[in-house]
Amino acid sequence: MKNVQELNLEMERVKGDIRLIRQSIEIIETNHLTHIERDIASIRKVMWTVGIMVLGQFIIVIKDLLLP
């Protein structure tokens, strides 16, 4: 069975690990998620632009077929 000193040492190691995990989560939340959100916003803008261009071409094709 472990003595009190070994248990305290193990507890301090676990507390250190928890601090590192919290720090990693904070970095992900404050830095990486911001970059990901910005990238997704850019992709959405491009998708809307492409969609509007395709719709415009589709309208032109329909107009040419219906009104020769």
Instruction: Please report, for the chain, the start and end positions of each structural domain, with discontinuous segments joined by +.
Output: 1-68
Q: What is the pLDDT of residue 4?
A: 85
Stretch 39-44: mean pLDDT: 96
Average pLDDT estimate for 7-24: 93
Average pLDDT rounded to a whole number, residues 29-48: 91
Model pTM? 0.57
The whole-angstrom separation of Cα 38 and Cα 45 is 11
Residue position matching structure tokens 């690990």:
17
Confidence of residue 50 (pLDDT cuts 50, 70, 90): very high
Q: HEC string of the chain?
A: CCCHHHHHHHHHHHHHHHHHHHHHHHHHHHHHHHHHHHHHHHHHHHHHHHHHHHHHHHHHHHHHHHCC
Residue carrying the six token digits 């009190």: 4
